[in-house]
């Protein structure tokens, strides 16, 4: 796939870039995408939810009534799960939700996600993205120029750039990552992926 490289003013620079078909042109594997997104979300769960079970409830163990002759069910103590304030049956306990996924599956998922965005025409390549100082207004202007304003936008840089990251931090539904931080969830959770030109080369080194 061949794309025109734009500048920050949204104009074509006259240069074109050929996206590697091994990354941006494969048949997307939906199941690999599902597994990678599932792992990303699972690994980010805190797993700290906790409910007290019967044995952990601080109530008296005194029997509340006689065993027989009450006309109802046999009464237990206040810890009984059927009573208000009693223990919780099968309540949540702290646990680790994370699981492992093969490296090749994760790479296939990222290539599939990028191919999905490329097929939909949702990839933009900029020749550079630089600001002298962090400025939200400047970032918004760039997004307007390349016609991605109002969308869920993912900017992909070759390396960390403080001014760019801070300029985008207050813009709703806008995320900035480096090539090393790029993941399937971020790609699928965006409706436009904007690469800086040198980030494409770095990505090919990682995924090709």
Per-residue model confidence as pLDDT tens digits over 57-104: 898 889 988 999 989 888 889 999 988 889 999 999 999 999 999 999
**In which domain, by residue range, is 103 found?**
2-45+99-207
Residue 13 sits in a domain whose CATH number is 3.40.1370.10
Answer yes or no: do 158 and 147 share one domain.
Answer: yes
Average pLDDT over residues 9-20: 94
Per-residue model confidence as pLDDT tens digits over 132-168: 999 999 999 999 999 999 999 999 999 999 999 999 9
**Residue 75 confidence (pLDDT):** 86
Answer yes or no: do 8 and 66 share one domain.
Answer: no
For tokens 């597994």, name the residue: 35
Answer yes or no: do 154 and 194 share one domain.
Answer: yes
Closest CA to 153 of 162, 138, 166, 140: 140
Answer yes or no: do 84 and 169 share one domain.
Answer: no
Answer yes or no: do 113 and 139 share one domain.
Answer: yes
In angstroms, what CA-CA distances link 92 with 72, 133, 160, 204?
31, 47, 39, 43
- The Cα–Cα gap between 9 and 62 comes to 77
Residue ending a domain, choose from 80, 96, 112: 96
Edge to edge, the sheet with strand 153-157 lists 12-18, 2-6, 123-126, 192-196, 153-157, 174-178
Answer yes or no: do 75 and 126 share one domain.
Answer: no
Answer yes or no: do 38 and 51 share one domain.
Answer: no
**Is pLDDT above 90 for 110?**
yes
What total number of domains does the chain contain?
A: 2
**Is pLDDT above 90 for 207?**
no
pTM of the model: 0.85
């Amino acid at each position: 796939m061949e794309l025109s490289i734009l500048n920050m003013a949204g104009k074509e620079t006259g240069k074109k870039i050929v996206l590697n078909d091994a990354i941006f042109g494969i048949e997307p594997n939906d199941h690999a995408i599902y597994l990678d997104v599932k792992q990303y979300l699972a690994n980010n769960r805190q797993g700290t939810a906790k409910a007290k079970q019967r044995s952990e409830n601080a109530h008296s163990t005194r029997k509340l009534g006689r065993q027989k002759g009450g006309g109802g069910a046999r009464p237990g103590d206040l810890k009984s799960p059927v009573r208000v304030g009693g223990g919780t049956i099968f309540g949540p306990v702290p646990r680790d939700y994370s699981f492992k996924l093969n490296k090749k599956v994760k790479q296939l998922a990222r290539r599939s996600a990028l191919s999905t965005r490329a097929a939909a025409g949702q990839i933009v390549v900029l020749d550079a993205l630089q600001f002298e100082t962090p400025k939200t207004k400047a970032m918004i202007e760039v997004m307007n120029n390349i016609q991605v304003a109002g969308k869920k936008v993912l900017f992909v840089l070759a390396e960390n750039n403080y001014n760019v990251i801070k300029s985008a931090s207050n813009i709703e539904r806008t995320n900035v990552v480096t090539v090393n931080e790029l993941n399937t969830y971020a790609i699928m959770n965006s409706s436009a992926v904007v690469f800086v030109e040198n980030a494409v080369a770095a990505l090919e080194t990682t995924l090709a």
